[in-house]
Amino acid sequence: MSDDGGDASPPADRDHAEWLDALADGEGFALVCPAGHGSLPPRRVCPECGSPDLSREPLAEAGTVETYSVVHVPSPRFADDAPYATAVVDFGPTRLTGIVRDGDETDGPPAVDVGDAVAVEVGERATDDERLVVFRPAGGE
Amino acid sequence: MTDVRVAGVGLTPFGSHPERTGRDLFAEAALRAFEDAAVDRSDVEELNYGNFMGALAEHQGHQAPLMAEAAGVRCPATRYESACASAGVAVREAVRTVAAGDADVVLAGGMERMTNLPTDEVTEGLAIAADDLFEVRAGVTFPGAYALMANAYFDAYGGTREDLAHVASKNHANAVSNEYAQYREEVSVAEALDAPPVAEPLHLYDACPITDGASALVLVSEEYAAEHDLDASVAVTGTGQGTDRMALGDREHLARTPAADDAADAAYADAGVGASDVDVAEVHDCFTIAEVLALESLGLFEPGEGIAAAREGTTTADGDLPVNLSGGLKAKGHPVGATGGSQIAELTRLLRGDHPNSGHVPDAEVGVAHNAGGTVASAVVHVLEVAE
Ligand SMILES: [Zn+2]
């Protein structure tokens, strides 16, 4: 991975890298059409209704866990991260999928349940330092 | 529009064949299908072939011409890819082609070669059926995605790991007599519950195995079958397909599979039957929870009620509505790009009466096959009926 202050993400995924940058800066956003459908970049049109009129709307401060799983058998890219808790979290205009961490993974992933409140940030995979979406239990730490 | 008949079906034994080429696997299935059909292969007008990860597993793209050679047919040949529904969509296009009168004989099926890869590479390969940017990079594996659906289901409707273990135990029991099945040993509910976790709440016996195999079907028009005096008693009377948002998190409901609802509605309408007419079903149980979701999308159970079907015995071999009498993906095996074709092959044999488990459904006249891709961003449903 490049580390010379440059962009560590593959150039082919420019829009995703920019979205992660915004998320890391606390300015995570969704693209929202006039009908209120939320989606994530890159988008030219709303995937639900086809509207080209998309605006950036901030994600909710705290999200709500809608479902989760503790993954014990990872793909190679997450070999050193397992076991880890993956979750789908509602952030208002859109849901996000990521990994739940509480900052101390020595005893495995934190306990997670549907309905838990979490914040979102950008973390790194233990396996290869690639960036990924990380959820933090709200009020934890 | 003409009636589409299944003239012949062929499978390889499903299992671990790491030393065999994909072209050899498909050749075996096609040979068996032609023997079963008693159709002259020079009459084949199209080959529709399903395959998912041949570029990863065999460094082989552009597989359709290769498989036409392997089957000994010379005709337009196309590879279809819709993840685990690759053969389902290949068969569906064959059905539509024959029904429309554009061809009298089409060879359809699929092949997947997987066990030559290390398990972690298979895990990685299967994961690419999910959204790379927003799911795979966020740690979602194939079992992990279905685990997310399972916990969402438990939260919405209730249900337990034990309910899922009954699905596994049922399908393993069904596979015991199936000569094509990968695992022909019974698995008890207790054994399933005790197995190590893959992605909680799914454990080892909630997951289908890694499988090599191929499937082939010879589909013909009713007129061709009559002209050639073929023994083709089973018809494909309905076909339907649905598509949903790619990423699970973008779906309307995390514990339901609307793409399969759409596919089922279309297939039933095409066939002019309803869910209550179905006597037997082969559904896409890549994970135990997937069978539950399939039963509900097919309208065979109300949302929230499919979870108890195996435990209560409704879907067991001796139940009112046997599901996955072949053993399902769970025990028969899941060579990804071949599975949709193998479901039609098994259902055909069950309805013809020459499947080892046909005795459980002696009066069955209507069967339904449900094949899903990814976390059911793609779904294909077919209705088969005894025509004569
Ligand atoms: Zn919209």
- Least confident range from A76-80, A136-140, B76-80, B223-227: namely A136-140
Closest CA to B301 of B259, B361, B261: B261
Distance from CA of A4 to the nearest CA of B (A): 22
Please state, in angstroms and rounded to a whole number, the distance separating the CA atoms of residues B214 and B110. 6
**Ordered DSSP codes for A80-111:** TT-SEEEEEEE-SSSEEEEEE--S--TTSSPP
Question: Does the pLDDT at position A10 exceed 80?
Answer: no
Distance from CA of B49 to the nearest CA of A (A): 28
Task: Report the separation in Å between the CA atom of A41 and the middle of ligand 1, taken as the mean of its atom positions.
Answer: 14
**Most B-contacting residue of A72, A77, A122 (CB-CB within 10 A), to test interface:** A72
Domains, chain A, in order of start with CATH, read: 9-59 (no CATH), 60-141 (2.40.50)
Please answer yes or no on whether A114 and B151 come within 8 Å at the CB atom: yes
Task: Report the separation in Å between the CA atom of B223 and the middle of ligand 1, taken as the mean of its atom positions.
Answer: 47
Q: What is the predicted ipTM?
A: 0.94
Chains A, B: CB pairs < 8 Å = 103
Does the CB of B353 have a partner CB in chain A at under 8 Å?
no
**Most A-contacting residue of B117, B131, B136, B137 (CB-CB within 10 A), to test interface:** B137
Q: Which of A69, A75, A97 sits opposite B247 (nearest CB)?
A: A97
- Which residues, 6+ apart, have CB-to-CB distance to B321 below 8 Å? B278, B279, B280, B281, B300, B309, B314, B315
pLDDT for B233-259, tens place per residue?
999 999 999 999 999 999 999 999 999
Task: Report the separation in Å between the CA atom of B387 and the middle of ligand 1, taken as the mean of its atom positions.
Answer: 45
- Reported as a pLDDT band with limits 50, 70 and 90, residue B54 is very high
CATH class of B4-117+209-386: alpha beta
The pTM score is: 0.96
Please answer yes or no on whether A95 and B250 come within 8 Å at the CB atom: yes
Q: What is the mean pLDDT of residues B362-383?
A: 98
Does the CB of A124 have a partner CB in chain B at under 8 Å?
no
- Count CB neighbours of B40 within 10 A: 10
**Torsion of the alpha carbons at B136, B142, B146 and B147, rounded to the nearest 10:** -80
Tell me the pLDDT of chain B averaged across its residues.
Answer: 97
- List, by residue number, the catalytic residues of B: 84, 334
> Which residue carries 């101390």 as its tokens?
A104
Question: Does the pLDDT at position A37 exceed 70?
Answer: yes
pLDDT for A98-118, tens place per residue?
999 998 878 889 999 999 999
- Chain B, 31 to 60: residues with Cβ < 8 Å from chain A are none
Q: Which of B137, B155, B202 sits opposite A67 (nearest CB)?
A: B155
Q: What is the mean pLDDT of residues B49-57?
A: 96
- Chain B, 242 to 261: residues with Cβ < 8 Å from chain A are 245, 247-250, 254
Q: For residue A92, what are its two tokens?
A: 């208002």
How do the domains of chain B map onto residue ranges?
4-117+209-386
Distance from CA of A141 to the nearest CA of B (A): 22
- Reported as a pLDDT band with limits 50, 70 and 90, residue B15 is very high
Please state, in angstroms and rounded to a whole number, the distance separating the CA atoms of residues B284 and B322. 14
Q: What is the mean pLDDT of residues B14-28?
A: 97
Please state, in angstroms and rounded to a whole number, the distance separating the CA atoms of residues B303 and B259. 15
pLDDT value for B127: 85
